[in-house]
Structure 1
Amino acid sequence: MDSNKKYWKGLEELNRTPEFVEKNKNEFAEPIPIEEILSGDGLSAKTPRRDFLKALGFGVGAVTLAACQRVPVHKSIPYLIKPEEVTPGVANYYSSTYEGQAILVKTREGRPIKVEGNPNDIFSKGGLSAQAQASVLDLYDVNRLKDPKLKGEEAGWSEIDAFVIKELAAIKAAGKNIRLVTSSINSPSTLAVIADFIKQYPTAKHVTYDAVSYTGIIQANQNSFGKAVIPHYNFDKADIIVSFGADFLGTWISGEEFTRQYVSNRNNKSLESKKMSRHIQFESGMSLTGTNADNRLAIKPSEEGIAIINLYNAISGTTLPGSKKLSSKAAENAITIAAKELVAAKGKALVVAGSNDVATQVLVNAINSLLGSYGTTIDLDNPSKQYTGNDAEFVEFVNELGRGEVAGVLFLNVNPAYDYFKAKEFKDALAKARLRVSFADHDDETALLSNVIAPNHHYLESWGDANAVEGYYTVVQPTINPVYNTRQAEHSLLVWAQNPVKDYYTFVRNTWNENLLAKGGLSGQKGWETLLQTGMIKTTPNTSGTYTFNRDLNAVAQTILTHSASIAAGDGKFELQVYQSPAIGDGKRANNPWLQELPDPVSKVTWDNFVAVSVADIKRLKLSEGDVIKITANGYTVELPVLAQPGQAQGTLSIAVGYGRTNAGPVGDNVGKNAFPFYSFRNGTFQTTAVVTEFTPTGIKSPLAQTQTHHSYEGRSVIREAKFAEYKKNPAVHSGNEKGHKNYDEESLWDVPSHDRPVYDWVMAIDLNACTGCGACVVACNAENNIPVVGKDEVRRRREMHWIRIDRYYSYEEKGESITEEYEIDKLKDDAFDKVTVVHQPMLCQHCDHAPCETVCPVLATVHSSEGLNQMAYNRCVGTRYCANNCPYKVRRFNWFNYWNDSRFDNYLNNEHTQLVLNPDVVTRFRGVMEKCSMCVQRIQAGKLKAKIEKRPLKDGEVKMACQQTCSANAIVFGNRNDPNSEVSKALKSERTYYVLEELNVQPGIGYQVKVRNAIELEA
C-alpha cells in the first residue's frame, strides 16, 4: 500500500475552502433557524415546506381496496374471512418481470412493498438496479391517472372504446395511415396483439422509438453480418476490455448483467488465483464505468472515432486513409499498448463503443472480428432484444405527420413531446392527426397533446411476458388488483381491434399454451402454474458462431472522420456530450423521489442536472462551482449550474438527459433542464454530441445539493489500493496484514471483557474491487427500512437520511507527483485532474465491538447485542447526538422532523398511499431520534424464526441484507463469523481484508477488501 497517495472526496475538501472548513468545524448539520421552523419554510426554495410536501403526493382508500379484494368494492372490510393466500404478518412472494429481468415481488397483506431480483435470472442472478428497486414506489403515486380521459375530460371505458373504434373505422375507410408508436417491445404476447391490430387496420404500422437509441449498433451488425441485432456481450469471457465511451457498468444496454460478468474476473475468487482482467476506458466525461477502469483516458468526443481508427490500424497492421494522431500522447500510447494486448488475448478480448454512429460501430465490428471475439465474448446468435428502436423510421414518422399523411397515432411507453430533439416540430405535426391516443398513466407531455388517454396499468398490476434475450422467456403477473380505473394497453388494443379474445390474461395464456410452454418442457394448467412459480423458462441456446468481417473500410473511415470534424470545436469553444445518469435515466421515472434523492455515482449531486466542466477549464474561465452558465448548441439554449468534474476532458462539457420534465408530476416537474434538444440526426441515427456555440456566465448562483463531503475523516486513511503486478508478489502488504502488523487489541482503551458470541456473530465483508458505486444498495435500503426522502434543500443542509452511502474518492499520482497533504493544487499541471482515479467505498454503521457511540449515550439508547450488532432503542433516544459526535465513521442520522408522521409532510411521505409501501417489520422513526443501519435485524429475526419452526440450524446465506441482495456485483457479503465455513468468514480471511480506521481500535464488524487495479504504465 502506498501511504503517500492522497485520497479526497471533492475539490472543496482538497482545496480546504473556507466554506468546507467552517462546515466541518461542527459535528452536526447546520440547524434550521427557529423562525424557519415556526414558519414551516426550509425544504424548497420555491415553496414553503408545508405546501411543498403536500404538493408532491404519493397517495388508503383505493390501494386498500385493491390489496384486500379480488373484485372492486366501495369500502374496506376487515379480515373476518381472510383470503386463503394471505396470512397477516407473513410475506407472500410473487414472480414477475421488470424490463425483461425476472424478479420476485414481496407483498404484505396484499400490497407490494419490495422488489427483489430472482436468483435464477440469467442477467444478474438476483441483483437489481436502483431504478428497479424504486419501481414499487411508482405504484403508490397519487398523481397517476384515476380514469381514462376523452378530449381532456374524464370518461368511462365504454365511452372511450366507442369513440376510438369509430375513429379507427373512419380512418380505415378513408385509407389514411395509422401509426402505433412504442418503445422497444420484446414481449411475445404484446407483439402478437400488435400484429392482430395491424391485421384489423391494414394501414397501420408499428414504429419503435427509444429516447436513448442503439440503432447504430443494430444497423452496423446488419451492414457487417446481415443481422440487425444487438449482440449478447460476454464480459466474463474477456481478459482485456477496451471501451470507447460505453458506460457498460451503468446505463449501456444491460448494466446489471454486465456488472455481474465484469466483476467475476476481478473479485476474491479471481484474485486468489492471481488472475484479473484488464479494462481500458476512453471517454470524455467521467462515467460510472470510467471510475472502475484500470486505465482511463480523457479524450474529446471528436477524437473517439479517430482513436478507434488508430486502434484498428495498430491491430491490423494497415493504415486507413485520413488517419491522424490524438492530441493526448498518453491516449496515443494507450492505443498502442491496448492493441498489443488485445492481439495477445485473441479470442478473449472485447472492444465496445457507446457511439450511436453506424460507421463507428462498423469499425468496432471489424476490430472484434480481427480479435476472434465473435463466438466467445460476442454472441450474435443469441442476441439481446432489449432495444430495437429505429431512429430513421421515427424521423420519417414525424415527417409523415407533418405532411398530413397520418390520421391516427397511438403512443405506448413513449414521450416524444419531451424527449424528441425537435419537440416543437413533433407537436406541430401531431396536431394534424385526428386521433391521438396515449396509454400513459400520467398526464405526461405527450398525453396532454392527445384527445384520448387510456391509462395503462402499472407493471405490478399487469399480466404479460418478456423475451429480453434469445431463448429466455419470463412471465409478468399482477401482485395487486388495479388501484385506479386503469386498463392494460394490450387489453385496449384487443377491444379496439374487435379481437374475439377480449381479455388480455386469456390472450397471454393462449400464447404460452400454444407456443412458449413447450419450449420449457411444460404444458397445460400444471405447466402454467409451474411457470408462475418459477417466473421463467430457458431454452437451449443457439450455437454461437464466428463471423468474419469482409468489407472495404476506406469509406467507413472517411465517414467517421467527417463525423468527427463536424463535432470538433474550434479554439476556445467546447464540445458537448449528453449522457444518462444511472438514477434518472431517460426521464421516464423522474417523478420518483427515491431516484431523485439518490446521489449521482460520480458527482454525488441530487435533485438536479448540471454542466460538468474540467477543473482546468474552471480555473481558466475563473468560474466557481454552482455558477449558472448559458449554453447554446444545436440551436438550443439552456441555463445550468457548472460543476468542476475531475476526469472531464478539457474543452468538453457533459450534461445528463432525463431532467427538465414539465409534466412528470410534482416530484419531477422543473427539476433540472432538458438536454434532449442537444441531440441531432446525422447519418441515419440520433447523435449525442454537438459543438457549443455559446458559453456565457449569467451572474446567477445555483448551489448544487451534493453529498460527497458531508462526512469528513480529517485526512485519515480509509482507502487501501494496490497495483495488480505488486499485489501478486505480496498480497498481504497492501492490506496491512503482513507479518508484524500491530495488534491493536493489546492496547485497548476499553477496559471491558470481550463480548460473548455464543451462537451468532453477525459481520460483513465489502469487496472494493467488486463495488462499482452504482447506488442500487442505497435505494434497496430505503425500501426495506422505511427511510424518508428529505428534499433538495435538506440535502444541501447535510440532512440526507440514507443509512448506507457510497463514498467516492479521487486520487492522482504520476511518476512520483501526487496531490499531497499540502493541497498544492496550483502547482500541478493543468492535466493532472484529467488523470484522476476513483475508488467507491460503501459506508454504513460498522457495528463496532468497542462502539464509541455506546459509551457516550446517557440513556442507553444504543447498546450492543450478544450477536455482535449495535442496536438502537428508539423510544429511549432523547436526541443528544453525542453518539453521532463520537462516531468516527459519521454514519448516524438525526431526524430533524417527523418525516413520516408530521402533517407538513403530507402527500409526499405521510399520505395514505405511500404509507402502504412501508415495511411493517420496521418501525418508522420520529423527530429527535438518531437512526442508522440495523443490519436489517428484521431479516435476521425472520430467518432465525423460520429455522426454529423447521427445527434446523440457520443456513449460511439464508439471511441476506437488503443492500447485499440487490448487489449484482456481490460486493457485500453478510453472515455469521462463528461459522468458519460461511462465505463471510472466508472473505474476511482474505489477504486483502482490512478494517477502516482500525488504529482507533473500535473493532468494527465490517471488513473491506483492498482495491486492486490492473493498470498499464503509460508515458505522459
Structure 2
Amino acid sequence: MNSNKKYWKGVEELNRTPEFVEKNKNEFAEPIPIEDVLSGDGLSGKTPRRDFLKAVGFGVGAVTLAACQRVPVHKSIPYLIKPEEVTPGVANYYVSTYEGSAIMVKTREGRPIKVEGNPNDLLGGGGLSAQAQASVLELYDVNRTKGAMKDGSGISWSSVDDHVILELAKTLDAGTGIRIVSSTISSPSTLSVIADFIAAYPNAKHVTYDAVSYTGIIQANQNSFGKAVVPHYNFDKADVIVSFGADFLGTWISGEEFTRQYVSKRAAKALEEKKMSRHIQFETGMSLTGTNADVRIALKPSEEGVALVNLYNAISGTTLPGSKPLSNKAASNAIAVVAKELVQAKGRALVVAGSNDVATQTLVNAINSILGSYGTTIDLDNNSRQYAGNDAEMENFVSEVKAGKVGAVMFLNANPVYDYYKGAELAKALEKVALRVSFADTKDETTSVCNVVAPNHHYLESWGDDSAIEGYYTVKQPTINPVYETRQAEQSLLLWSANAINNYYTYVRNVWDTRILPLAGLSGQAGWETVLQTGFIKAAPKAAGAYTFALDLNGVAQKVLAQSAQVAAGSGAFELQVYQNSAIRDGKHANNPWLQELPDPVSKVTWDNFIAMSQNDMKAMGLVEGDVVTIEANGYSIALPALLQPGQAVGTVSVAVGYGRTSGGIIIENGIGKNAYPFYSLRNGTFQTTSVAKLSATGDNIQLAQTQTHHSYEGRNIIRETSLAEFVKNPAHAVGKHEGHKDYGLWDEHERPNYDWVMAIDLNACTGCGACVVACSAENNVPIVGRDEVRRRREMHWIRIDRYYTFNEKGEGVTEETEIAHLDDISNVSVVHQPMLCQHCDHAPCETVCPVLATVHSSEGLNHMAYNRCVGTRYCANNCPFKVRRFNWFNYWNDSRFDNYLNNPHTQLVLNPDVTTRSRGVMEKCSMCIQRIQAGKLKAKIEKRPVRDGEIKMACEQTCSAGAIIFGNRNDPNSAVSKALKSERTYYVLEEFNVEAGIGYQAKVRNTFELEA
C-alpha cells in the first residue's frame, strides 16, 4: 500500500474549497428547525392527513382483484375465498425474462414486489442490472395508459380492431406501405407473429430501429466475414483487453454478462493464483468501464481512428496508407506497449470499440483476426441477438413517410419522435400517415402523434419468450393479471391479421412445442411445465469458428482517418461525445424515480444530465461547476450545467442521452435534463455519436443534485490499493498490516453461540454499477426524496457506492511534494469504487450514545434499529464514522409534497410487507436484510437443520453480477464469507478506531504497467 497516495471524491474535496469546508464543518447539512418539530411538518406547518395503512389497504385490494379480473376495484376486499395458490404472508416466485435474462419474480398476495436474477441465467448468472431491479415499479405507474384510445378518447377494444382492420384494408388497396417500427426484438414468438402479419399484408415491412445503434458492428461483420451479427464476446477468455470507448461493463451490448465474465479473471480466484487479466481503456469521457481499467488513456474522438491505425500497424508489422503519428503522447506510448501485450497474448486477446462507424469496426475486426480472437474471445456462431437495428432501414422509412408512401405505421417499443436525431421532422411527416398506431403503455412522445393507442401489457403481465444469445431461450409468463385494460401487442397483431391462432398464449405454446422444446429434448405439456419452472432452455452451442479477415484495408483505413478528421475541432470549438449513462441509459425508463435518483457511477449526479468538461477547459472559459452553458452542434442547441469531470480529455465535452423527455409520465414532464439525441448525425451510412460543438456561457448557474461529497472522512485513508506486481511480491503490501499491533476495547465482547452474520466486499470485483443500490431500495422500502432533497444532502439510500479519484504517475500515486503540480491538471486519474453501508460494528459507536436504546446489538452480530423507539436525536449519526445512517426528514412515501415520485396508492403496491415503512423523524440504515435472515432461519427450523451457507442472500449481494458482496455466518469456518475474510487482501475500514466492523473489504489490485514520460 502506498501511504502517500491520496484519494478524493470530488475536486472540491481535493482543493478544500471554502464551500466544501463550510458544509463539512458540522456533522449534518442543516439542523432540525424547532418550529418544524412543534408543527409536525418540515415545510408547510401542516400535518399530512393521508394514512399509510389506508393507502396500502386500497392497493392490496385492487391488485389482488387483478388476479381474477381486469379492472382494479377501488375498495378494500378481504380474502373471503382465498385463491388456492396464494397464502397470505408467504411469497410466491415465478420465472420470467427481462431483456433476455432469466429472472425470478417475487409476489406477495398476488402482487409482484421484487425481481431477482435466475441463478442459472446464462447472462448475469443471477445478477441483474439496476434497470431490471427497477422494472417492477413501472408495473404500478399511474401514468400508464388505462385502455385503448382513438384520437385522444377512450374506446373499446372491439372498436379499435374494427377501425384498424378497415384502415389496413384501405392501405392494401391503395398500394401504400404498412410499417412496423420496433426496437430490437429477440423473441422468437414475437418475430413469428410479425412474420405472419407481413404474410397477411404483403405491403407491410418490419423496420428495426435502436436509439443506440450497433449497425456499425453488424455491417462490419457482414463485410468482413459474411455474417451480419453482433458477436458474442468472451471477456472471461481474454488475458489482455483493449477498449476504445466501449463501456462494456456498463451500457455496451450486455453489461451484466460482460461484468460477470470480466471479474472472473480479476477478482478472488484469479488473485489467489497471483494472476489477473490486463485491461487498457482509451476513451474521451470517464465511463464506468474506464474507472475499472488498469490503465486509462484520455483520447479525443478525432484521435481514436489514428490510434487504431497505429495499433494495427504495430501488430501487423505493416503501414497502412495515410498513417500518421499520434499527437497525444500518452496515447502514442500506450499504443506501443499495448501492441506488444496483445501479440504476446495471441488467442487470449480482445480489442473492442464503441464506435458505430462501419470502417472503424472493420479495422477492429482486422486487428482481432491477426490476434486469433475469433473462435476464442469472439464468437460469431453463437452470436448475440440483443441489438439488430438497421440505420439504413430507418432512414429509408423516414424518407418513405416524407414522400407519402406509407399509409399505416405501428410503433412497438420504439419512440423515434424522441430518440431519432431528427425526431421533430419525423413527427411532422407522420401527419401524412392515415393510420398511426402506438403500442406504448404510456403516452410517450411518439404516442402523442398517433391517432390510435393500443397499449401493451407490462412485461410482468405478459406471456412470451426471448433469445438474447443464439441457442439460449428464456420464457416469459404473467405474474399478475393486467391491472389496466391493456392488451398484448402480439395479440393485437394476431387479430388484425386474422391469424388462424388468435390467442397469443396458444401461439407461444405452438412455437415452443414445434421449434424450441425439441432443442432440449423436451416435448408436450410436461416439457412446457419444466420450462415454466426452470425459466429457460439452452441448446448445445455451435462450434465457434476461427474466421480469417481477407478485406483490403487501404480503403478502410482512409475512411477511418477521414472520419476522425471530420470531428476534429478547430480553435474555439470542442469535440462532442454523446453517450449513455448507467442509470437512465437510452431514456425508455426515464419516468422511473428509482433510476433517476440512482447516482451516476462516475459523476454522482442524480436527476439531470450535464456537460462534462475538463478542468483546463472550464478554467479557459471562466466557468465554475453548475454554470449553464449553451452547446450547439449539427444545427441544434441546448443549455445544460457544466460539470468538472476528472479524466475528461482536454478539448472535449460529453453529454448523456436519455434525458429531456417531454411526454410519458409526471416525473419527466416536470423537466428532467435536455434531449441530446439531435446531436447525432448520419455519416457513412450509420448514426454517429461524435461531432464538433461550440459552447457559450449563459450567465446562469444551477446546483446539480450531486452526492459525491455528502459524506466526508476528514481525509482519513479508507482505500487500500496496490499493483499486481507488488501484490505478488508481498501480499501484505495491499493492506499495510502491522504485525504485533494490539487493540484494546472499552466494551465486553458479544457472545454469538449460533450465528455471527458478517459480510465481505471485494473491491476488485465491484465495478460501481449501482444495481445494489436499487435492489436495496426495492427490498427495504427505501424512499425516493427527489432532486431538491438530494441537493439538501437528504438522500435515503441505505447503501452507497463511494467513488474515489487518485492521481496517476507511472502507474503509482504521487507524494505530497508533487501533488501540487497536479492540481491544475486532473485528466490523468484512476478511480476506486467502494460500497459503503452500515458496518454492523461489534463496538458500535452509535449504540453507546442513543438515549432511548433505539439502536442495539444482537446476539448474532447485527446492529438493529427499533424504529418506534427512535425519537430522532441523530446522536447515532453524529457518532458514526462511516456516515451510513439516514434521517427521515419527511414521510416521503405518504406526503402530498412528493406526489411526483412514489406517493400514490398504486405505486405503494410495490412495498415489501416484510419491512416496516419508516415514518418521519427517525433514523434508518442498512438492516442487513433482517427479514431475509429471519425467513431463512425459520425455513431451516421447520426442516430441523442449521442454515446452509449461501441459503440467505442480501438484496445487494443477490443482484451483483460481479459477485463482489458475500454474506454469511463467520461461525462456520467453511462458509464462503469466512474464506473471503481470510484473504491476504482483507482489511477493515477505519480499523484504527477499534469499532470491530462486521464488514471486511478486499483491497483493490491493478495490473498496471509504466508508460514512458
TM-score (norm 2): 0.97
Aligned-partner SS, 1:900: helix
Distance 1:981 1:814, change over 3 A: same
> Given residue 435 of structure 2, which amino acid in structure 1 is its aligned partner?
L
Distance 1:919 1:823, change over 3 A: farther
Distance 1:261 1:875, change over 3 A: same
Matched, 1:803 2:798: yes
CA distance in 2, matches of 1:960, 1:836: 35
Note the 1:321-470 alignment, pairs <5 A.
Answer: 321-470=321-470
Distance 1:14 1:40, change over 3 A: farther
Which stretch shows the higher mean deviation, 300-309 or 58-67?
58-67
CA distance in 2, matches of 1:924, 1:50: 16
Q: Deviations over 1:250-287 (max 9, x none)?
A: 00000000000000001111001011000000000000
Distance 1:400 1:906, change over 3 A: closer
Shift, 1:325, TM fit: 1.6
Aligned-partner SS, 2:161: helix
| Contact residue 231 and residue 380 of structure 1 kept, 8 A | yes
| Contact residue 105 and residue 112 of structure 2 kept, 8 A | yes
CA distance in 2, matches of 1:469, 1:265: 22
Note the 1:887-898 alignment, pairs <5 A.
Answer: 887-898=880-891
Match in the other structure for 2:1011: 1018
Shift, 1:60, TM fit: 2.5
Shift, 1:32, TM fit: 6.9
| Contact residue 43 and residue 791 of structure 1 kept, 8 A | no
Q: Deviations over 1:456-483 (max 9, x none)?
A: 0000000000011000000000000000
CA distance in 2, matches of 1:638, 1:39: 43
Match in the other structure for 1:788: 783
Match in the other structure for 1:828: 822
CA distance in 1, matches of 2:860, 2:992: 23
| Contact residue 616 and residue 650 of structure 1 kept, 8 A | yes
Match in the other structure for 2:691: 690
Shift, 1:43, TM fit: 9.2
Match in the other structure for 2:544: 544
Note the 1:155-166 alignment, pairs <5 A.
Answer: 155-166=155-166
| Contact residue 62 and residue 72 of structure 2 kept, 8 A | no
Match in the other structure for 2:759: 764
| Contact residue 72 and residue 484 of structure 2 kept, 8 A | no
| Contact residue 392 and residue 685 of structure 2 kept, 8 A | yes
Shift, 1:687, TM fit: 0.1
Match in the other structure for 2:679: 678
Matched, 1:754 2:767: no
| Contact residue 760 and residue 978 of structure 1 kept, 8 A | yes
Shift, 1:77, TM fit: 3.5
Aligned-partner SS, 1:784: helix
Q: Deviations over 1:412-434 (max 9, x none)?
A: 00001000101122112111111
Shift, 1:824, TM fit: 5.8
Matched, 1:743 2:742: yes
Aligned-partner SS, 2:382: strand
Match in the other structure for 1:614: 614
Distance 1:873 1:247, change over 3 A: same
CA distance in 2, matches of 1:828, 1:81: 71
CA distance in 2, matches of 1:570, 1:501: 61
CA distance in 2, matches of 1:455, 1:382: 34
Match in the other structure for 2:953: 960
Aligned-partner SS, 1:911: coil
Distance 1:42 1:392, change over 3 A: farther
Shift, 1:910, TM fit: 3.2
CA distance in 2, matches of 1:400, 1:49: 58
Match in the other structure for 1:293: 293
CA distance in 2, matches of 1:50, 1:358: 58
| Contact residue 575 and residue 653 of structure 1 kept, 8 A | yes
CA distance in 2, matches of 1:733, 1:371: 35
CA distance in 1, matches of 2:401, 2:965: 52
> Given residue 215 of structure 1, which amino acid in structure 2 is its aligned partner?
T
CA distance in 2, matches of 1:761, 1:524: 48
Shift, 1:81, TM fit: 2.0
CA distance in 2, matches of 1:100, 1:644: 37
Distance 1:820 1:859, change over 3 A: farther
> Given residue 927 of structure 1, which amino acid in structure 2 is its aligned partner?
R
CA distance in 1, matches of 2:47, 2:356: 43
Aligned-partner SS, 1:163: helix
Match in the other structure for 2:862: 869
CA distance in 2, matches of 1:540, 1:850: 54
Note the 1:46-195 alignment, pairs <5 A.
Answer: 60=59, 63-69=62-68, 74=73, 77-195=77-195
Match in the other structure for 2:13: 13
TM-score (norm 1): 0.96
Tell me the C-alpha RMSD between the 2 structures: 2.2
Shift, 1:909, TM fit: 2.6
> Given residue 13 of structure 2, which amino acid in structure 1 is its aligned partner?
E
Match in the other structure for 2:929: 936
CA distance in 1, matches of 2:48, 2:901: 10
CA distance in 1, matches of 2:950, 2:891: 35
> Given residue 901 of structure 2, which amino acid in structure 1 is its aligned partner?
Y
CA distance in 2, matches of 1:37, 1:595: 31
Match in the other structure for 1:845: 838
CA distance in 2, matches of 1:541, 1:815: 43
Aligned-partner SS, 1:578: strand
> Given residue 570 of structure 2, which amino acid in structure 1 is its aligned partner?
G
Aligned-partner SS, 2:758: strand
Match in the other structure for 2:238: 238
CA distance in 2, matches of 1:681, 1:339: 32
Match in the other structure for 1:923: 916
Shift, 1:823, TM fit: 10
Match in the other structure for 2:970: 977
CA distance in 1, matches of 2:22, 2:279: 40
Shift, 1:28, TM fit: 1.2
> Given residue 872 of structure 1, which amino acid in structure 2 is its aligned partner?
M
Match in the other structure for 1:268: 268
Match in the other structure for 2:944: 951
| Contact residue 785 and residue 898 of structure 2 kept, 8 A | no
| Contact residue 65 and residue 72 of structure 1 kept, 8 A | no
Structure 1 vs Structure 2: percent identity of aligned residues? Answer: 73
CA distance in 2, matches of 1:32, 1:50: 18
CA distance in 1, matches of 2:37, 2:870: 22
CA distance in 2, matches of 1:62, 1:665: 24
Aligned-partner SS, 1:814: coil
Aligned-partner SS, 1:667: helix
CA distance in 1, matches of 2:242, 2:89: 50
Q: Deviations over 1:541-594 (max 9, x none)?
A: 000010000111000000011111111001232000000011100000000000
Distance 1:463 1:655, change over 3 A: same
CA distance in 1, matches of 2:5, 2:479: 51
Note the 1:1002-1017 alignment, pairs <5 A.
Answer: 1002-1017=995-1010
| Contact residue 64 and residue 76 of structure 1 kept, 8 A | no
CA distance in 1, matches of 2:602, 2:812: 24
CA distance in 2, matches of 1:19, 1:618: 19
Aligned-partner SS, 1:668: helix
Note the 1:706-717 alignment, pairs <5 A.
Answer: 706-717=706-717
CA distance in 1, matches of 2:99, 2:300: 33
> Given residue 674 of structure 2, which amino acid in structure 1 is its aligned partner?
K
Q: Deviations over 1:111-133 (max 9, x none)?
A: 00000000010001100000000
Match in the other structure for 2:284: 284
Distance 1:895 1:664, change over 3 A: same
Q: Deviations over 1:982-1002 (max 9, x none)?
A: 000000000000000000000
Q: Deviations over 1:806-846 (max 9, x none)?
A: 00000003269966669965x3375x411100000000000
Distance 1:287 1:334, change over 3 A: same
Matched, 1:209 2:209: yes
Aligned-partner SS, 2:331: helix
Distance 1:271 1:49, change over 3 A: farther
Distance 1:628 1:906, change over 3 A: closer
Matched, 1:991 2:984: yes
Q: Deviations over 1:963-1020 (max 9, x none)?
A: 0000000000000000000000000000000000000000000000010000110123
| Contact residue 734 and residue 1005 of structure 2 kept, 8 A | no
> Given residue 806 of structure 1, which amino acid in structure 2 is its aligned partner?
I
